[in-house]
Structures are given as C-alpha cells and as structure tokens.
Amino acid sequence: MNKRKANVFENLKEDVYQANMPEKEKQKILKNIMNLRDKKINIMITGATGCGKSSTINALFDMEIAKVGVGVDPETMNITKYELDNLILWDSPGLGDGKEADNRHARNIIKKLQEKDFSGHALIDLVLVILDGSTRDLGTSYELINSVIIPNLGRDKENRILVAINQCDVAMKGRYWNKEENKPEPPLVKFLEEKVQSVRRRIKEGTGVDIEPIYYSAGWKEEGEKQNPYNLSKLLYFIIQHTPKEKRLVYVNNLSRDTSVWRYNDNKKDYVHLIKKSFAETVSEYATQGAQIGKSIGSVFGKTGETIGGAIGGVVGGVVGAFKSWFS
Ligand SMILES: Nc1nc2c(ncn2[C@@H]2O[C@H](COP(=O)(O)OP(=O)(O)O)[C@@H](O)[C@H]2O)c(=O)[nH]1
Ligand SMILES: [Mg+2]
C-alpha cells in the first residue's frame, strides 16, 4: 500500500519545473495546472437506507468518513456533506422511510439538483443512485429515479446519472458467491445481468432515458473480518466517464490507497488501465493547452505518471513507462 498521499497537482508542477522547455511554455502549462487544481466535483450519492451509500464512499475514497450501518432517524435525517479537498460528496437519503420523510427527502434532493454553482452551471455534476441488489422490491428506487431525479436533471441526463446495484454478493442470499476468489459464479452473474437489464428497462419505460446500470459490491468489515469490494474499479471507471474531463484529476488525490479494494473486477475491460488513461487524457488535453510540447508529453510528466499509477494501486515501478503509452 502506498502510504504517501498523492498530490497530482504538485507533481505536475514539479515535472514542468524540471522539464527542458522554454520558460514561456512552462508558464502557460503552470497556469493550466492551477486551473485544473481549482476545479470542484460535486457528487450526490443517494439510495434507500441500508443500500450501502456509506460503505461505498468509504471503499472508494481515502478516508473513513461515512458511518456504516448507523440507525437513521427519518425525522431529522438530511443530506450530509463530505468534503475531500475539491471532491464534495452529498450523501442523501433516498425513499422508503415513510410517506412524510419521503416527501421531505424528495424535496431536499430536488432543491439540491436545482442549485447552481458560481458560474451558473448545475452544482451537482453527477448523481450516483445506489440500489440494494439483495432486495426484490425496487419500487421506491424506481420512484426515486424516474419521478424525483431524472425530471430534475436538466439537459444531458444520461451523463449526469449513474445507477449502480450494490451488494451483488448477496443478491441470491449469498448463493453462488465465490468467497475464495471474491467473485460471482455463473448463475449469480446471470441473475445480476438480468437485474441490470430489468432496471434499465424500467427506467427507459418510465422516462425515455437509456442508461447503463452496473452491479458491484462495496464489501464489508466486521471485527477482524472483512470482504473486499467487487467491481469497485468498474464503478470508479463509470464515475470518471460521467465526470467532465477537465475535472477528473480531482479524484486522483482522494482515492483509497488500499490496493485490495481495486483488485477484484469482472474481466470485461481492463478498468484500472482505462482509469489511468482517462487521467492521462485530462493531462494531455488540458494541462498543455496552448503550449508547444508535442510528442514529449509522456516524458515530461514522468513523476505525475507515478502518482497516478500509485493512486489506484498500480505498482509504482514500471508505471512511468506505461504512462507514455496511456497517451497513445
Ligand atoms: N454483504 C454486503 N453487505 C454490504 C455491502 N455494502 C454494504 N453492506 C452492509 O449493508 C449495511 C448498510 O450499509 P451502509 O453503508 O450503512 O448503507 P447506507 O444506509 O446506504 O449508508 C451495513 O451493514 C453494510 O456492512 C455489500 O456489498 N455486501
Ligand atoms: Mg449511510
């Protein structure tokens, strides 16, 4: 585990100071880096009590911030804000806490979705809706997605909502979960893929919006025992794809440095590689804007490459070389 906290912006600056290029170009790039550093990401995380919002936040990000499994008082429960540098999470109760509480939650969510940032854009970049994969009745979740969230997302709806089905390990009451390899066996995979399709269909029918849900497990910890997450890298990859490109580097400094959380994923894609590549794209498209450094970009940002690689549990040695290839 890499204990040093990543600071991708400091590394970018250092790389530029040390690079062999005209002072004028350096100044342009440094200014771009400052701009990237000032970007903020706001994510709303919502879903029924017990679906795993807190567990998901703790698994993804580098801080034990969200209390897991705390009893909720629907009367006082509201949106909780977590700030990790420029990454801001809004943990919002979903529906299913009774009519009165639900009305209040819905109002709070709608108000938050309508909020604008200082530049007049919607404050919330992305809504992550978490469903509890172990329950049959997803009625209140469809209500939340179809009647509360999607109608209030404004334009570009597909890119601002991500639906993720958690607790995939216990979707069939724990059957067909391979504990040794921390992955679902074929009957559970089939069950989960059908669930994904039925969620997709229900949202399409209800709103006309076509989204691609995914399934994962945030894992769990209990005195001395733990189960690692599954498809957490996939979830992060989808989150990044749904985040405006110029904001993506904000994640790098705040990801969990526990390499075991990123390890277990379906093999449909090499998510870890794709995540690094999306960070590299932000560097190449935004950090160097207006500057002439051409093909040398991979060699200029060597240290940054190490940081990005280390940030999601890549083996730091060997990452520098790989960084060059992420740009191609
Ligand atoms: N088996 C299993 N349990 C989970 C998973 N994610 C969360 N849990 C458990 O579900 C319960 C509720 O989780 P929590 O994160 O507090 O949900 P929240 O109310 O949405 O914040 C806790 O006991 C968690 O340990 C998972 O992927 N698999
Ligand atoms: Mg919680």
Please, what are the domains in the chain?
1-38+270-328 (no CATH), 41-244 (3.40.50.300)
Establish whether residue 220 lines the binding site of ligand 1, counting it when its CB lies within 6 angstroms of any ligand atom.
yes
Euclidean distance between CA atoms 226 and 258, whole angstroms: 13
Distance 50 CA to ligand 1 centre (A): 6
Distance 4 CA to ligand 2 centre (A): 28
Average pLDDT over residues 296-316: 66
- Measured from the Cα of 216, ligand 1's closest atom is 27
| The most confident of 8-22, 109-123, 291-305, by mean pLDDT | 109-123
Average pLDDT over residues 165-173: 98
| CA nearest ligand 1 atom 19, residue | 50
Euclidean distance between CA atoms 322 and 260, whole angstroms: 21
Average pLDDT over residues 206-221: 97
How many helices (DSSP H) and strands (DSSP E) are in the chain? 13, 10
DSSP 76-112: T---EEEEETTEEEEEEE-S-S-HHHHHHHHHHHHHH
- 44: closest CA among 124, 102, 120? 124
Establish whether residue 52 lines the binding site of ligand 1, counting it when its CB lies within 6 angstroms of any ligand atom.
yes
Euclidean distance between CA atoms 92 and 182, whole angstroms: 29
Is the pLDDT assigned to residue 255 strictly greater than 60? yes
Establish whether residue 309 lines the binding site of ligand 1, counting it when its CB lies within 6 angstroms of any ligand atom.
no
Distance 229 CA to ligand 2 centre (A): 17
Distance 56 CA to ligand 2 centre (A): 9
